Structure 1
Amino acid sequence: MVKGNTAVKEYPKSEIDQLNYLMDEYGEEIKRLAFTYTKNWQQAEDITQEIFISAYNHLNDFREQSTIKTRIYRIAINKCKDYVRSWHYTKTLLTNTFYQKSNSLSPEEEYLESEQKEQISKLILELPIKYREVIILYYFKEFSLEEIAAALDSNLNTVKSRLRRAKKNLETKMDREGGGYNG
């Protein structure tokens, strides 16, 4: 079996230990990834459970042509995309939009740096999924371009193009909102 980027000979033998290992190793990362799609922590937790059940059910199919991390991210991205295409997501998104309370803090309560981080996070979540996933995997999960291409089942040049367009899109949005871009 494979752990992260290195092969591991002493992988847990029992089925429950294998599932626990995967959840301990990747659980929080996958939940945060699911949140970037769902924008709802409860739904992200539910999808994360589905992701690990699916990963566990397909462990025997794993041919070690990539890392287990890449495989789990591939499953996670597919599950999240399925959710975003579902009627439940659309209904939840509309409901939250209509009933959402303002949670913005006054400028006196925030430091300039935290405001900028929040603005960037918000703008990333507004990006189309094909750009959002590349930005998150590259900058926040520190995947290489090749790993992103494998996780998304995309051509390397497509990943490079999406990353370039995502950065340009973010820069444009930040300029439009008056936040500028500091690199």
Structure 2
Amino acid sequence: MDREEKDDILEKIMIDYGNELVRLAFSYVKDAELAKDIVQNTFIKCYQSLESFRFDAQIKTWLYRITINESKDYLKSWHYKMVQVKSFINETAKAILPSIEKTVIAKYEQEEMKDMIFSLPKMYREVVYLYYYESLNTEEIANVLDISVNTVKTRLRRAKKKLALIIKEVEPNGR
């Protein structure tokens, strides 16, 4: 069998069975590009062994067997196993990291907010603390601090304004 004859047979095989073989490989490896690579390897092996093919079996069966073996070899390969491990690690990290990241950010923001509150003058700091952290209402704060309810409300309003200014100074671009 001369080279031109081999080339013609391979071209016909590629046209007749290419899509079927890609689907077959895909059913094993679950990746379209990888399936195409496997089929390309199948055609290379087919070309290299075409002279020894006896044609007493169907060529389709032979190509299927080569494709299946190539797919199984890939699935047994070190490369595939490493890809699977990396994929598992990435998926696990994606699931875990956002919650860890959110927790860390929330804790940082809490600490940052505490620092900002503690930077307020004492009379504002105490009403903010009692109102937001101890969940006391304005009447209860007035009783605890022995001041009027209106004074509590005024201090809370002023404390919020001062905090807003501090936050604007601290956060880049006003976030």
What TM-score, normalized by structure 2, do the two folds share?
0.46
Instruction: Select the structure of larger CA radius of gyration.
Output: 2
Q: Structure with the greater relative contact order (CA < 8 A, sep ≥ 6): 1 or 2?
A: 1
Q: TM-score, normalised by structure 1?
A: 0.45
More helix by share: 2
